[in-house]
């Protein structure tokens, strides 16, 4: 079927080269009927949905290292699939996680009008800077796009035996770790009770990847500018093919009434690789919030578990995880002051992106550090440091009165499958909204 699209140079001004290549990969399937389109899938687990969707994803699930559906058809069909897997690798499709109910069948003009109406709904006057800003993500056409839907994209396949050459080519070049988020200024002083959300959005689907999520009935108490928000994610690697957007919507709980505290979007632009942590600031409404981020080159995901083998439970202290011995690259994944747990230490977040060195002599490694209450997290000599080097899956260490077991699972961070709507919406932006007015950095 002939396929037409704008001149290739047009896309270089809209999307990164890697996304443009993904667009070319899927062009040949552009006329597929809705029944034949690829169903949404989460690589971390078996695809959800009805039986028909599971069968449709059977071959791809096998390629990702998952168990195939229990029924895939007749025995002859199953035999054909086995032969296909041996002789030819199945294509890794783009997938559509955007159940828009017909929105994507609108004309470009209709979609642009809908986008403008949606953006007006969250264009607000920031009283701190006396500026009109967009308080939510709108860097592509959001007409009919559910900004509150959580991303379904999950962890990649295990390293490295499960990776075919095709999957290895889909491994990303850069990912981002969120080291910390702090309220460095508060117009309401301290302590304050905060609730609301902080989400990250990346090029895979721009859906919500939650970093902080608290209801009004369960706020976090921030006692000083040195306190960090207790983060719960990301639950998967944040892929840096293009800009990553961090959307904050925090409120302060008060006896006289609740108030908007921090609202807006922080953008991490794609740029030259920097091994040092990067600081981004959102100054808005009643606060100044600081995000510390770290870019990881050639990343893989290390998912951690910690268990108390000996000693009184729960473990009392802090646990940090990162890409090196340097405390600046480490994030707090457990604080006994905020967490109640028994023999299995429940980490508030358990995933860290770590680099895969080009030098074969260097190891893929994740660093875990145990600290006592009162230890300075910035002191490199404090606590007990454990390194887990691939392909090791566990290590036991002693810290203070405890014997602790650390387990790790190693998985790839992939840039595919990618949501189809990322390209469709990226080429449907009204001219007046090509550069969203997010809150400026101050």
**Domain locations in the chain as residue ranges:** 8-98, 100-297+416-442, 299-412
DSSP 150-178: BP-----PBTTTT--HHHHTTB-SEEEEE
pLDDT of residue 39: 35
CA-nearest of 408, 358, 357, 413 to 167 is 413
pLDDT of residue 96: 56
Q: Are 93 and 29 in contact (CB under 8 A)?
A: yes
pLDDT of residue 441: 61
Structure tokens at 243: 């800009």
Fold topology of 299-412: Immunoglobulin-like (2.60.40)
Of the CA atoms within 13 Å of residue 417, those in its CB half-sphere come to 29
Of the CA atoms within 13 Å of residue 262, those in its CB half-sphere come to 30
Does an H or E element contain 55, and which? helix 51-56
**pTM of the entire predicted model:** 0.79
Spell out, as residue ranges, where the chain has pLDDT lower than 50: 1-87, 89-90
Distance from C-alpha of 422 to C-alpha of 207, rounded to nearest angstrom: 10
What are the backbone dihedrals phi and psi of residue 209, each rounded to the nearest 5 degrees, phi first?
-115, 105
pLDDT of residue 81: 39
Q: Are 155 and 303 in contact (CB under 8 A)?
A: yes
pLDDT of residue 340: 63
Residue the block writes with tokens 């108490």 = 221
DSSP 23: H
Residue the block writes with tokens 């909204």 = 433
Does an H or E element contain 229, and which? none
pLDDT of residue 423: 80
Residue 368: left (phi > 0), alpha (psi -120 to 50), or beta?
A: beta
């Amino acid at each position: 079927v002939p396929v037409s699209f704008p001149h290739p140079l047009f896309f270089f001004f809209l999307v990164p080269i890697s996304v443009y290549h993904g667009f070319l990969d899927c062009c040949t399937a552009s006329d597929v009927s809705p029944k034949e389109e690829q169903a949404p899938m989460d690589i971390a687990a078996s695809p959800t949905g009805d039986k028909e969707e599971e069968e449709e994803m059977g071959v791809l699930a096998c390629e990702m290292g998952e168990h195939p559906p229990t029924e895939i058809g007749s025995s002859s069909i199953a035999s054909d699939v086995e032969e296909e897997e041996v002789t030819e690798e199945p294509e890794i499709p783009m997938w559509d996680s955007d159940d828009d109910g017909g929105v994507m069948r609108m004309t470009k003009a209709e979609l642009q009008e809908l986008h403008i109406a949606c953006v007006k709904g969250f264009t607000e006057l920031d009283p701190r800077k006396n500026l009109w800003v967009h308080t939510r993500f709108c860097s592509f056409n959001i007409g009919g796009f559910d900004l509150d839907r959580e991303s379904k994209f999950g962890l990649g396949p295990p390293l490295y035996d499960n990776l075919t050459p095709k999957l290895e080519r889909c491994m990303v070049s850069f990912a981002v770790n969120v080291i910390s988020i702090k309220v460095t200024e508060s117009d309401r002083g301290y302590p304050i009770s905060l609730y609301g959300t902080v989400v990250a959005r990346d090029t895979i689907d721009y859906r919500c990847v939650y970093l902080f999520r608290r209801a009004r009935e369960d706020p976090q108490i921030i006692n000083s500018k040195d306190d960090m928000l207790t983060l719960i994610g990301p639950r998967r690697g944040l892929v840096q093919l293009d800009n990553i957007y961090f959307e904050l919507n925090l409120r302060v709980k008060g006896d006289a009434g609740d108030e908007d505290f921090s609202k807006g979007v922080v953008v991490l632009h794609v740029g030259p690789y920097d091994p040092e942590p990067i600081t981004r600031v959102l100054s808005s409404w009643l606060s100044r919030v600081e995000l510390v981020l770290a870019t990881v080159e050639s990343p893989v995901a290390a998912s951690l578990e910690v268990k108390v083998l000996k000693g009184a439970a729960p473990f009392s202290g802090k646990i940090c995880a990162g890409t090196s011995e340097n405390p600046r690259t480490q994030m707090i994944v457990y604080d006994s002051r905020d967490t109640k747990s028994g023999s299995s230490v429940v980490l508030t977040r358990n995933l860290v992106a770590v680099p895969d060195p080009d030098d074969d002599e260097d190891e893929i490694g994740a660093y875990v550090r145990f600290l006592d209450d009162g230890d300075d997290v910035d002191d490199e000599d404090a606590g007990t440091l454990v390194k887990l080097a691939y392909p090791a899956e566990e290590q036991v260490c002693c810290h203070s009165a405890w014997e602790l077991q650390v387990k790790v699972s190693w998985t790839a961070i992939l840039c595919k499958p990618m949501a189809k709507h990322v390209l469709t919406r990226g080429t449907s932006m009204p001219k007046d909204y090509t550069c969203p007015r997010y809150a400026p950095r101050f």
